[in-house]
Structure 1
Amino acid sequence: MALSADKMKQYRTLGHSLNPIVTIAAKGVTDNVLAEINRALEDHELIKIKVAVVDRDARKAAIQEVCTSSNAQLVQEIGKVALLFREAAKPDPRKSNIR
């Protein structure tokens, strides 16, 4: 499901004040990192991740791999920080960043 331009703008605005929850190191995307990202997406729906990889192409590949394997949508990417969204199956309004 692609997000509309209005939703993307709204999520970028909400994501501005968020801090990165997960940092992907130079090792790349591991199973533990993916598990933490999936848990965070299920709880918060909108999260920031930091990709601490120097090479730009490797960084973009890591973000794409995370989006593909976690079924999340890339809302915004600025430098080494990416904003991801995935709607939760059972959203909890106390934990969610968008509700």
Structure 2
Amino acid sequence: MELRGKQKRYLRAQAHDMRPLFSIGKQGMSQNWLDQLSDAIDKRELFKVNILPNSDVTVAELQAFIEDNSDIQVVQSIGHTLVLFGESKDKDRRHYSTAVKAI
């Protein structure tokens, strides 16, 4: 699902008070790390990822890696933090995606 401006604004507002759930450090990006992100999307649909200062990964590289290798979308990047969104496979956990579709 391609997000429109109002939908992104809603998701950014919902993620404002959240703390980063995942961090990426020295080990960088791997398929195992991406699988963990996908599992978290199925449970939460919306969360933040933080890039640690000791990481060799840039924000643009991380954003491209996530969007190219999964169905997770980057809603916003602020400094070294990314806000990620994806629709849950479990219909009972689709809180944010149902609200986004209604907008």
Write the letter of the residue equivalent to 2:58.
A
Write the letter of the residue equivalent to 1:60.
A
Match of 1:73 in 2: 73
Match of 1:22 in 2: 22
Match of 1:13 in 2: 13
Structure 1 segment 1-99 matched on structure 2, within 5 A: 1-52=1-52, 58-93=58-93, 98=96
Write the deviation string for residues 31-89 of structure 1: whole angstroms up to 9, x where unpaired. Answer: 22112111111111111111225689733102220222121111010011000111112
Query: Of Structure 1 and Structure 2, which has the larger fraction of its residues in helix?
Result: 2
Write the deviation string for residues 4-40 of structure 1: whole angstroms up to 9, x where unpaired. Answer: 1111000000000111111011321122211211111
Conserved 8 A contact 2:25-2:54: no
Cα distance, 1:54–1:34 mapped onto 2, change above 3 Å: same
Write the letter of the residue equivalent to 2:39.
R
Q: SS where residue 83 of structure 1 aligns?
A: strand
Unaligned runs of 5+ residues in structure 1 are none
Give TM-score, length-normalised by structure 1. 0.82
**Percent same amino acid at aligned positions?**
24
Compare 53-62 and 32-41 and name the one that shifted more.
53-62
Cα distance, 1:81–1:23 mapped onto 2, change above 3 Å: same
Unaligned runs of 5+ residues in structure 2 are none
Give TM-score, length-normalised by structure 2. 0.80
